Structure 1
Amino acid sequence: MTLPLVPPMLATPGSLPSPAQDARWAYETKQDGQRVMVYLPGDGTVLLRARSGEDITGAYPELGALGGILGGTPAVLDGEVLALDEQGRADFQLLQGRMGLAHSPATAARRAARVPVHLVLFDVPYLAEPLLSVPYARRRTRLEDLGLTGAYWSTPAAVVGHGAEALRATREHGLEGLVCKKLDSVYEPGVRSRSWIKIRNVRSEDVIVGGWLPGKGRLAGLPGAVLVGRRDGGRLRYAGRVGTGWDEAERAGLAALLRAAASEDCPFDPAPRIPDARWVLPRLVGEVGFSTRTRAGLLRQPTWLRLRPDLTPEESSAGLPEDGD
């Protein structure tokens, strides 16, 4: 059968619900991977779509067995693809080596043998019929009743109430954060909803790279810092320079991407006065950690966390005023 296209529902950055509201929310661990919608038409096949809607099925051959997991029952599942480190924690840098291979099946198979992925499932907006208007608590029960646990996928538990304790546990275990979901919330395809709230343990933001500064000494020929910005009313506003957070290999890889995107024009509006700046086309998205913002909107004490090849500048949250994504 032909399943309906369901863009993923998105969470809004925020804080824990008040103690008085705590029992009306469920809490899930925030995962550090690639968001994916899983389409199971019930004929033994599986289709994976990224947040952008792109077909990424070929990048993850180890998930092909999902096609027959529910027999003839058609379903759309919402989840996240992870690559796990030796401690069993999500490592986005490991996952980057698995992304972008949807049209390179031989390479995808080789990398799957070395770095297998794991799919965590947390919602089911369609199961034999649309469940978009069904409250989260009931959708979650329907999902858990499917018993989707295997070598390459699982359905981690959600905790109802006890939000402060859940957030503290993610911090103690070095996890990315928490997602709070209102028990009576419907599934809103493609909407960044306040019925889902995400809390990151690292204050961070997606930014767009618009330029770089040449390094000195041992960093000659490499970027000493990148110049980043965020969308604001259709313009790319300068947000500061980031000069830490890379190892040698990452800095060299970034240098190649910056050279390929070289431009004579400054993409920031208004253009900052930065001597020796090298400008690039604003097509690279990265995530940075920072302590706070100045009144002018510049990031204070920023450090590079990761490149985001899964996001385009249009898809990034770089224009959002909230912290994190």
Structure 2
Amino acid sequence: MLATPGRLPPAAQDARWAYETKQDGQRAVVYLPGDGTLLLRARSGEAITAAYPELQPLGEALGRVPAVLDGEVLALDEQGRADFQLLQSRMGLAHAPARAARMAARVPVHLILFDVPYLEEPLFTVPYTDRRGLLESLALHGPYWSTPGAVVGHGAEALRATREHGLEGVVCKRLDSGYEPGVRSRAWIKIRNRRAEDVIVGGWLPGRGRLAGLPGAVLVGQRSADGRLRYVGGVGTGWSGTERAELAALLRAAETGTCPFDPVPPVANAHWVLPRLVGEVNYSTRTRAGLLRQPSWLRLRPDLTPQESSSSCASACCSSRSTRPCCTSRCPPSPRTSS
């Protein structure tokens, strides 16, 4: 069952919904036949059991009770937050069990469980609240798996808590909803926390197909504490056709043969420009190298000069007292709340 992107339910309906933390990992369905074994399948249907050998003991957790569990495989950073970049080192090893075992010792994963569509019998038509009660009664808490709680009501507070702790967002689940396999349902709504920052345009990549002759993506950076323009990624979405054409004219006028980024990013076929255009982008989080994940263009900032934009957040963790969105994703979180 898949969630639909959306917004928080209206305040008048808040008590009809449960709120779970949205995790940044690999979705996995866990098949427990009741014989001590388990089978993990990704959303694609691919068997990924061998990629995560540390999860094998979960097969014995329910004894001879057959079950199907729904969850998310995570790799956690030093603060206990999901780090998709870490997880990537574990993904794709289903056909390399020896390497998977070595990586499990270096980067262990943690399986978050949030639903039980089958427990001795199908539970597809059973309401979420009852399925959740059954899941929690199984007491599945181990060294590499757990069943985090969900909060009923208080959706705005739950979303705010995930934002304050640098988490990906929330999933809102209607209390009376059944489990709809393979359906992207309005009974589950996902809300991602997006952060916005100013960036300096330092180059662009040519578009293809219908975008031929226009920028397919702009290459952006931010000033580090020592004044260098550090590359933070490419942005290829967020423009209307008119905005993309206007941006193309600005980029052509600023073209130069010298890369303004230090160090020069390994980007093929790049066109460099003088770093004088400032824009605002939003994004989900940063990689450990400081690159923006899932960036999208918001607007040009003609009111800002390159010297006025950006901070040194691209290269160093800032004060945990700062309220800039980048800081909430990079600095150690404050103690967690019950939400």
Q: Calculate the TM-score normalised by the size of structure 1.
A: 0.66
Other-structure match for 1:37: 29
Return the alpha-carbon distance in structure 2 between the equivalents of residues 293 and 102 of structure 1: 42
- Of 275, 285, 295, 1:289 maps to 295
Check the 8 A contact 2:177/2:187 in 1, yes or no. yes
Change (3 A) 1:122 1:236: farther
Other-structure match for 1:46: 38
Per the alignment, in what secondary structure is the counterpart of residue 21 of structure 1?
A: helix
Deviations 1:7-55, CA, capped at 9 Å, x for gaps: xx11011110111100000000000000000000001111000010000
Percent of matched pairs sharing the same residue = 72
Other-structure match for 1:196: 188
Change (3 A) 1:51 1:173: same
Other-structure match for 2:94: 102
Question: How much has 1:289 moved relative to structure 2?
Answer: 2.2
Return the alpha-carbon distance in structure 2 between the equivalents of residues 226 and 44 of structure 1: 52
Question: How much has 1:243 moved relative to structure 2?
Answer: 2.1
Change (3 A) 1:162 1:153: same
Return the alpha-carbon distance in structure 2 between the equivalents of residues 10 and 289 of structure 1: 23
Confirm or deny that 1:241 pairs with 2:217.
Answer: yes
Check the 8 A contact 2:23/2:82 in 1, yes or no. yes
Change (3 A) 1:11 1:43: same
Change (3 A) 1:13 1:70: same
Question: How much has 1:245 moved relative to structure 2?
Answer: 7.7
Q: Calculate the TM-score normalised by the size of structure 2.
A: 0.63
Change (3 A) 1:228 1:14: farther
Other-structure match for 1:309: none
Return the alpha-carbon distance in structure 2 between the equivalents of residues 79 and 228 of structure 1: 38
Change (3 A) 1:227 1:15: farther
RMSD (Å) for aligned C-alpha atoms: 3.5
Check the 8 A contact 1:26/1:161 in 2, yes or no. yes
Per the alignment, in what secondary structure is the counterpart of residue 117 of structure 2?
A: strand
Check the 8 A contact 1:203/1:291 in 2, yes or no. no
* Equivalent AA in structure 2 for residue 95 of structure 1: L
Change (3 A) 1:101 1:227: farther
* Equivalent AA in structure 1 for residue 57 of structure 2: A
* Equivalent AA in structure 2 for residue 144 of structure 1: E
Other-structure match for 1:181: 173
Other-structure match for 2:66: 74
How many residues align structurally?
A: 239
Per the alignment, in what secondary structure is the counterpart of residue 126 of structure 1?
A: strand
Per the alignment, in what secondary structure is the counterpart of residue 44 of structure 2?
A: coil
- For structure 1, the residue ranges without an aligned partner over 5 or more in a row are 1-8, 205-215, 217-223, 230-234, 255-271, 280-285, 295-325
Check the 8 A contact 1:203/1:289 in 2, yes or no. no
> Over alpha carbons, which structure has the higher Rg?
2
* Equivalent AA in structure 1 for residue 295 of structure 2: G
Return the alpha-carbon distance in structure 1 between the equivalents of residues 118 and 167 of structure 2: 29
